[in-house]
């Protein structure tokens, strides 16, 4: 589970970084256009969509790191449990928390992917109309 969280973190971080770069590029383009240029409205709408996508990826990434921590604490508590006789409930609860956080990662990522289509639709409207 720790390895899976690591791989997810790489992908999610890459997606968040791409959103950041795209938002900066759009902001730069927005600043260079005349204030009455029609493209500025499309750019503003795209930035709104990208902000929402970035927020979903950020939440997914934070949930992923929370899951990673829960799985590491699961291993640690299992080791302590074998030596000290702790209840098995602690490692099991931590593992369950990690799984729930991975579900959150999936949900936030699905929301972000769904929004990606909206950003493409805005470009299509701007180019094909």
**CB 118 within 8 Å of CB 21:** no
Query: According to the model, what pLDDT value does residue 87 have?
Result: 84
DSSP string covering 36-84, please? T-THHHHHHHHHHHHHHHHHHHHHHHHHHHHHHHHHHHHHHHHHHHHHH
**Which secondary structure element, helix H or strand E, spans residue 98, and what is its range?**
helix 89-128
Residue 108 domain boundaries: 2-128
**CB 12 within 8 Å of CB 53:** no
What is the reported pTM? 0.84
Taking the mean position of all CA atoms in its chain, how far away is CA 95? 21
Query: According to the model, what pLDDT value does residue 128 have?
Result: 78
DSSP state at residue 35:
T
The rounded average pLDDT for each run of 10 residues, N- to C-terminus, in the chain (129 residues) is: 89 92 94 91 92 95 96 94 86 96 96 88 80
- Number of domains the chain contains: 1
Cα gap 116→8, rounded to integer Å: 19
């Amino acid at each position: 589970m720790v390895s899976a969280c690591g791989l997810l973190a790489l992908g999610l971080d890459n997606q968040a970084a791409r959103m950041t770069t795209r938002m900066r590029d759009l902001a730069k383009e927005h600043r260079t256009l005349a204030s009455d240029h029609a493209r500025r409205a499309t750019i503003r709408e795209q930035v709104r969509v990208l902000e929402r996508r970035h927020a979903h990826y950020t939440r997914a990434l934070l949930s992923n790191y929370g899951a990673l921590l829960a799985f590491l604490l699961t291993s640690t508590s299992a080791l302590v449990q074998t030596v000290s006789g702790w209840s098995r409930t602690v490692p099991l609860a931590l593992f369950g928390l990690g799984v729930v956080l991975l579900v959150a990662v999936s949900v936030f990522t699905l929301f972000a992917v769904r929004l990606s289509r909206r950003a493409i639709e805005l470009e299509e409207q701007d180019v094909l109309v």
